[in-house]
Structure formats: structure tokens, C-alpha cells
Amino acid sequence: MAHGAQVGDEKILKLLELVEENYEALATTIELVAALKKSGTLDALLQLAEMGDEIFNSLARPEVMKMIGNLMMMGYMLSQIDQPLLMKAAEKMPVCMNTALQEAAATEKGMGIRELMKTMTSPEMAALLKALIAGVSCARGKQG
């Protein structure tokens, strides 16, 4: 029995050495767990862990797997876009969308022939048509 106690004492000493060596990391971990507990996140994580089989079964449904696959493909597509171009679009689009929606809401009647011709010959319409044609040509494999 004395040998078993000696082995137990050695394990406790090794454990105490590890605690001493990693004091800062352990203290940070305890602070993190306390913050997670205070925010309620720890309880939510515990509930998720307890519901592991249910969550897996709900995620394994074909429609969910298809959605996840589509999200992954969207992420891949976005990652292929030039970063500065994507950043420029992300900065401009909210303002442009708000302007377009305000214009659409303010329009109460159709366009006359003169306004239609002016719009059709505008640089914006030319840019739209050229971008559309380039996109369709690219999608059809006829890059020019």
C-alpha cells in the first residue's frame, strides 16, 4: 500500500509543477470560463453538447446539407473576387441601393419617349449592357 501512496504523491507533485509552470495560462483560462459563465455562453455550450446527437441528426438532413454546400460555394466564389474590388463594392453598394430605392419610390408615372431615349443612350445604360453582355459571355464560356 505504501508504494501506491508514493506513486500518488509523485503524480500530485508533477501536477503541481505543471500548474506552477502554466500559472498564467491557467489563470487566463479560468477568467475566460468565468466570463463565458457570466454571459450565459457557457450554459448554451453545455446545452449544445448535451444535444449533440439531435443537432447532428438535424444537420444531416438533405436540405440542410444542400444549404451548407451552397454557402460553401458562395464563400468560394466571393474569395475569388479581387479584394480591393470587393471592398469598393461593399462600401458603395449600401449608398447606391438606398439611392435606387428612393428613386423607385419617387417614380409615380412611366417614362416619356424622350426620357426613355435619353436613358437608353446614357453612359450608365451602356455600362450596364456591356457588363451584362460580358457576364453572360463569360458564363457561356465565350470570354473575349
Residue 72 corresponds to which amino acid? M
Residue 68 corresponds to which amino acid? I
Burial code (b: 16+ CB inside 10 Å, e: under 16) for 16-31 equals eeeeeeeeeeeeeeee
And the C-alpha cell for 75? Answer: 464563400
pTM for the complete prediction? Answer: 0.44
- The chain-wide mean pLDDT, for the chain, equals 89
Cα separation, 111 vs 105, in Å, equals 15
Cα separation, 136 vs 129, in Å, equals 10
Per-residue confidence band for 27, with pLDDT thresholds at 50, 70 and 90: very high
39 falls within a domain: yes
Q: What are phi and psi of 141, to 5 degrees?
A: 85, 20
28 falls within a domain: yes
Residue 33 lies in domain: 19-80
47 falls within a domain: yes
141 falls within a domain: no
Sign of the Cα torsion 66, 72, 76, 79 reads: positive
Domain count, the chain: 1
58 falls within a domain: yes
Q: What angle do CA 132, 141, 87 make, to 5 degrees?
A: 50
45 falls within a domain: yes
Per-residue confidence band for 144, with pLDDT thresholds at 50, 70 and 90: low
64 falls within a domain: yes
95 falls within a domain: no
